[in-house]
Amino acid sequence: MIKAWFLLVTLLLFTTNDILAQSHVTTTGSFCRYAKNSLRNKNVYAEGHTQCPACDAEDAKEAVARKAEDKRRADAKAAERAAAALEKKRAEDALLKKKWEEANKGSTELAVTMPANKTTANVPSAVTPAVINGMAAGYLYDEGETDNQSVGKMSFSINQGERNNQIYKLYSDINYFVLNNKRILDNDEFKVCIGVRRIPGGPQNNPTKFPPGVGIVILNETAGKHVIADLIDAKGERLLKDNNISTIVHFFGDYFILLEGEVFSHGGGTSYGFSDGVIYNYKTKQRYPLAKYGSKRNRVNVAWQVNATYLSKDKLREKSTYSAFVEVITDWQKSMFYYITHDGKVESDDINW
């Protein structure tokens, strides 16, 4: 019965549409394509001639269809290119892997014979960590290539969508780490996994010294209005277990910046506000609270990125004296700069702009 009604209503709608549809104005010399001496597509100005709205409507419809077809073709071409790029990348990776396996085979034999050769000159004293496909062994890598020193990039909304590899855009969720060339924690426990930033074809030397055996995750559960971030080990064990933490930014080496609560933007994307925050050394578990903003001291206002400020360079320490810094805005024209020194200490400067 419902089906019959539906058919009837549809039929009525189409009929009405038909009646309303304009008919062609076929007067001789009009702009109708069916007119005798039609002016349509003749490079003639429309003014002063009889128009044909029906032809105009048909042409408009056709233009829309043509546009859709063009888009479909462009999309197909882009997909083809992406597939070819991926294929090339896979071939390169396979070749690199083979090379690594061959090299590794050699070094294993070398390692076995080395102790007997103690007197030989130029034997490397330290064992260089194994590198597979540009990834050092023991480190949790991020195929999503997220900038883990960017507060903006590391703040996720509770409605966070899929995260893609920025180069290949395969539209699949990258919610796993790569450890020793294998995917780990590839399940739905974590929404986002951020480790050592790895850009295929880019620098592979981990310049910010993201530590081995640890990664940053966004859990698949929320607390109030914010996501829950944590540090985890290779087994997926939560290291902080503090549901107030919504955002974790890698600072330098063993230091992370832990930020609490819902993120709110302040200062047009140049800084982000949080209810609280600390600099945290995940190895020593030492905590350095971040200075709070204004007289109310009810929030922490962190600059958008580690090693970023819009203040002139003379407000900063001499570049050769530190490994990284982060600016925390503490008041109108006041900032606290936190530094990680070369000997791995946290130091701070109170700066008036």
User: Which of 224, 134, 144 shows the shortest CA–CA distance to 190?
Assistant: 144
Q: Which residues bind Zn ion (CB under 5 A)?
A: 24, 32, 52, 54-55
Whose Cβ is closer to Zn ion: residue 55's or residue 227's?
A: 55
Whose Cβ is closer to Zn ion: residue 7's or residue 63's?
A: 63
Give min distance, CB of 14 to Zn ion, in A.
Answer: 21
Whose Cβ is closer to Zn ion: residue 35's or residue 196's?
A: 35
Give the side-chain half-sphere CA count within 13 A for 303.
Answer: 19
Give min distance, CB of 56 to Zn ion, in A.
Answer: 8
Give min distance, CB of 27 to Zn ion, in A.
Answer: 10
Whose Cβ is closer to Zn ion: residue 54's or residue 234's?
A: 54
Q: What is the three-class DSSP state of 3? A: helix
Rounded to whole angstroms, the Cα distance separating 330 from 348 reads 13
Whose Cβ is closer to Zn ion: residue 57's or residue 94's?
A: 57
Looking at the DSSP assignment, which residues form a beta bridge with residue 264? 273
Amino acid at 84: A
Give min distance, CB of 262 to Zn ion, in A.
Answer: 59
Give min distance, CB of 93 to Zn ion, in A.
Answer: 59
Helix, strand, coil % over all residues of the chain, rounded to 5: 25, 30, 45
Whose Cβ is closer to Zn ion: residue 32's or residue 279's?
A: 32
Give min distance, CB of 17 to Zn ion, in A.
Answer: 18
Q: How many other CB atoms sit within 10 Å of the CB of residue 148?
A: 22
Tokens of 242: 């503090």
User: Which of 223, 164, 233, 226 shows the shortest CA–CA distance to 192?
Assistant: 164
Residues 6+ apart with CB under 8 A from 30: 38, 39, 49, 50, 51, 52
Rounded to whole angstroms, the Cα distance separating 101 from 107 reads 10
